[in-house]
Amino acid sequence: MKLQYQLTIAFTTLLVIIMTIAGITVYSQMLQMLIKDEQRQLEDKGELIVNFILYEDLNNSYNAQTLLRLLNAYNLQVFAYDDKTEKIVFSSITNVDQLDSFVTRYDMDDPEQPLWESGNEKYVVSIIPIISSYTTQKLVLLTPLDDLQEVRESLIGRLISIFLIGIAVAVLLSHYLTTKLVTPLTKLRYQLKKIEKRQFDQMEAISATGEIKEVEKSVVEMANELNSFIQSQRQFFQNASHELKTPLMTIQGYAEGIKDGIFEGEEAERGLNVMVEEIYRLKKIINEIILLAKLDSEENIYKEEKIEMETFMEQIMVRAVPIANERNVDITLKRVEQHTLTFDYEKMLQAIMNIVTNALRHATTKVELSVYEINKNVRIEVKDDGDGIDEELLTKLFHRFVKGENGETGLGLAIARAIVEKSGGTIFARNHADGGAVFCIQFVKYDK
């Protein structure tokens, strides 16, 4: 069953349960409320009648006739009872046995009267004392309970109609709301199908809000990352085959030339030297490919420990200064704050040296190294004064076999990225306003 229908059924069921409970509660309490209200009305009418004939003796026939006219106007069943004589003074009820039953069964001095019963009928009763200096009479007013039950049934019928209309409106409203809720999810499912079929160019934006929008953003980011990964893998194999093929062809050409006697003497010696250099180059590429594979797949090659950054950067300088001197580039530690980070010492040393070597290769006169805190992160920064990085190259700079001008194997920055990310950090590059490139490695600073 579709999620939309499940949600609609769930909302409707919940509403029906709530309204049913409310209906049962109202139904059970309604009769008591009607009885209480009827008793109040009887008291009000009784007080009006009593006030009208106050200080008049109901034994007087004129007063009795006046009272009967009022009773007919109010459509009430009443009788007057004299406590002193214990007799019924007058009554609008013609059934004498019924009157005797009321007088003998019920205590008329009780302020809280129950429902009076006579045969199969029940009555709501209100007793109003007629207070005067010469009488001890009570006026008893009665209303059949059946009349109130008819009122209750009429009200319940109306309530049921209102409930049914409310349920219908709620079903339509819940269907509308669930449609708005589920439609983005349905579209998101289609987007995932496109990702499954690698149709990244057919991805579409989804109109949504709240958590669904966050999920949609995550899906888009995942699709972009997956597309980038697939493209980088394709590029990797193309570049890897090219990088490996070039030295192999060089080695093959010289080897066949020497074998066939095409190269002799100094030319053969030079060919052997080229072959050795290409073998070293080929070995370096293969070793870096193997290292990348290990960084991606093997966890146990990382030996994390706490590293003091001042000492660590000094070791970077020890290794970088000879390379800088060879290239006539000045390298300095511009700013190093005291921080302690956790990573694999040897691996991170290799990662940062790859970045520093790359900076020295592209710098004009100087390279600056810094370690400082920014936005609760510890940043390691390598800045050069070269020509900077092409904007087109910035987005794929850390992919494998992506080389800029004067690049070597195209694996150094990819290895640096793998090591940094495996250590829980992030790496990125940008061009700065003064010219040149800035490489940043960033770690979240945890309080001790």
Q: Domain boundaries in the chain?
A: 3-152, 210-297, 304-444
Question: Which residue from 439, 433, 399 is spatially nearest to 316, judged by alpha carbons?
Answer: 439
- The pLDDT of residue 67 is 65
- The pLDDT of residue 3 is 63
Residue the block writes with tokens 């069964």:
105
Question: Which residue from 302, 304, 377, 306 is spatially nearest to 340, judged by alpha carbons?
Answer: 306
Which tokens go with 210? 């709240």
| Rg of the chain in Å (alpha carbons) | 49
- Provide the CATH number for the domain formed by 304-444 in this structure: 3.30.565.10
Question: Which residue from 85, 88, 56 is spatially nearest to 70, judged by alpha carbons?
Answer: 56
Do 79 and 92 meet the contact criterion of CB atoms below 8 Å apart? Answer: yes
CA atoms within 13 A on the CB side of 268: 10
The conformation of residue 57, written as its DSSP 8-state character, comes to: -
For residue 60, report the phi and psi dihedrals to the nearest 5 degrees.
-75, 130
Do 320 and 356 meet the contact criterion of CB atoms below 8 Å apart? Answer: yes
Do 212 and 185 meet the contact criterion of CB atoms below 8 Å apart? Answer: yes
Determine which helix (DSSP H) or strand (DSSP E) holds 171, and give its type and residue range: helix 145-196
- The pLDDT of residue 71 is 67
- The pLDDT of residue 53 is 56
For residue 251, report the phi and psi dihedrals to the nearest 5 degrees.
-60, -45
CA distance 343 to 54: 103
CA atoms within 13 A on the CB side of 223: 23
Question: Which residue from 397, 411, 417, 415 is spatially nearest to 285, judged by alpha carbons?
Answer: 411
**DSSP E strand stretches across 37-101:** 77-82, 87-91
**DSSP letter string, 268-323:** HHHHHHHHHHHHHHHHHHHHHHHHHHHHHH-STT--EEEEEHHHHHHHHHHHHHHH
Do 345 and 315 meet the contact criterion of CB atoms below 8 Å apart? Answer: no
For residues 138, 141, 145 and 151, what is the CA-based torsion angle, rounded to 10 degrees?
A: -150
The conformation of residue 423, written as its DSSP 8-state character, comes to: T
| Fold classified for 210-297 | Helix Hairpins (1.10.287)
Angle at 175 between CA 170 and CA 178, to 5 degrees: 120
- The pLDDT of residue 330 is 92
CA distance 403 to 104: 114
Question: Which residue from 288, 293, 274 is spatially nearest to 244, judged by alpha carbons?
Answer: 288
- The pLDDT of residue 56 is 54
CATH architecture for segment(s) 3-152: 2-Layer Sandwich (3.30)
Residue-wise pLDDT for 412-433, tens only, equals: 788 888 888 888 899 998 888 7
| Confidence (pTM) | 0.47
Regions in the chain scoring below 70 on pLDDT? 1-5, 50-61, 63-64, 67-68, 70-71, 74-75, 131-135, 208, 232-233, 235-243, 292-300, 400-410, 446-448
Q: In 75-144, which residue ranges form alpha helices assigned H by DSSP?
A: 96-105
Determine which helix (DSSP H) or strand (DSSP E) holds 333, and give its type and residue range: strand 330-336
Q: Which amino acid is at 270?
A: R
- The pLDDT of residue 402 is 65
For residue 97, report the phi and psi dihedrals to the nearest 5 degrees.
-60, -40
